[in-house]
Amino acid sequence: MKVFVTGASGLVGSALCADLAGQGHDVVGLSRRGRGGESARGGKSARGGKSARGENPADPVRWLSGDPCQPGPWLAEARSADAVVHLAGESVASGRWTEARKRELVRSRLDSTRTLVGGFATADSRPRVFVCASACGYYGARGEEELLESSAPGDDFLARLCVDWEAEADAARALGLRVVSLRFGVVLARRGGALATMLPAFRLGLGGPLGPARRWFPWLGLDDAVGLLRLALENDSLAGPLNGVGPSPVRMGEFAKTLGRVLRRPAFLPVPEALLALALGEMGASLVPGQRVRPDVALRSGYAFRHPTLEDALRSELSR
């Protein structure tokens, strides 16, 4: 199977590309930064939309550079793929949400998705499946409510962004593609994302809950982020939203205690919600909004989580 992946040099994208290539699939990875360094298997970046495999024949992934928000030569590779996985988008946790930053968060998701779907529309042959990233931010802050894929969306900035993002992806259905929107929780990986940001403080014994300890914290191990993407690609009966969270929900206080236990460090120093808001503004409130999300579709599809508990996911990731 030929799989085209945007955001391929990111945390989840690089892990997915390595996994797919290891299984013998033809993987083409697009990175706006020209790969931004070494690939998961040592390949250098490509320039000007050309494949990078020639620079390092040992790299099983063909790397392309290009802006997914703008049509370019890379679209030909997406059109000719059997499947497209769209993971590109500016990080929501990389700084305060100024109005300019919000516009970039929106643009990087909606314009890139629109560009891909527009590319499919003009192709003689099209991919069979389009898997597009989304986020648990779709649900907004919901307290104790159990959230399934069928639950209504929230009404804050992230929720509205996710609703619009999924709508852009869903437009590919009219072209005959099977579309899956994977609503990721916090993906736990030691080399990037939220966990990597937390680790220095926790290793010094200065960690603790971010905001109220009783708020729900939707998490997912990196191995299962890849596993759920594979499920979306390979299960022809799946379409629509897919919650990307672990099957054992935890609250923020339990997350902090578990991470402290795995690191053998105390974790009793909470970061008050007011301090998060003061330091990070609107983005601070979104870090732990409180979402009790259940991976209902994945469980009903028979997916067996590689790391069904938070402690298992943390121990696996931190022992790499």
Does a structural domain hold residue 268?
no
Half-sphere exposure of 286 (CA within 13 A, CB side): 25
Domains of the chain: total: 1
Reading the block at residue 252, the tokens are: 């923020």
**Tens digits of residue pLDDT in 103-133:** 999 999 999 999 999 999 999 899 999 999 9
How many whole angstroms separate alpha carbon 76 and alpha carbon 153?
Answer: 34
Tell me the residue type at 144: E
- Whether 178 and 131 have beta carbons less than 8 Å apart is answered as no
Q: Is residue 113 part of a domain?
A: yes
Q: Has residue 197 been placed in a domain? A: no
The CA–CA distances, whole Å, from 185 to 22, 74, 138 equal 26, 29, 10
In a domain, 106, yes or no: yes
Instruction: State pLDDT tens for residues 127-174.
Output: 999 999 999 999 999 999 999 999 999 999 999 999 999 999 999 999
- CATH number, residue 114: 3.40.50.720
pTM for this prediction: 0.91
- Dist CA 60 CA 243 (whole Å): 30
Task: Please give the biggest Cα pair distance in the chain.
Answer: 59
For residue 11, being part of any structural domain is answered with: yes
Q: Label residue 35 by pLDDT band (50, 70, 90).
A: low
Q: Please count the residues of the chain.
A: 320
Amino acid present at 250: V
Q: Determine, yes or no, domain membership for 168.
A: yes
- For 149, other C-beta atoms within 10 Å of its C-beta total 18
The pLDDT of residue 45 is: 38
Measured distance CA(60)–CA(186) in Å, rounded:
28
Tokens, residue 52: 């990078």
Helices and strands per DSSP (H, E), number in the chain: 11, 13
Sign of CA dihedral 15, 19, 22, 26: negative
* Residue 287 is assigned to a structural domain of this protein: no
Structure tokens at 180: 């899956």
pLDDT in tens, 37-76: 443 333 333 334 444 444 455 689 999 999 999 999 999 9
Domain membership of residue 253 (yes or no) is: no
List helix spans (H) across the chain.
Answer: 11-22, 74-79, 99-121, 157-170, 193-203, 222-234, 252-263, 273-280, 282-287, 296-300, 310-318
Per residue in 228-263, pLDDT (tens digit) is 999 999 999 999 999 999 999 999 999 999 999 999
Structural domain including 223 reads 2-188+218-246+292-306
pLDDT digit string (tens) for 182-234? 999 999 999 988 899 999 999 999 999 998 999 999 999 999 999 999 999 99
Asked if 137 contacts 159 with a C-beta cutoff of 8 angstroms, the reply is yes
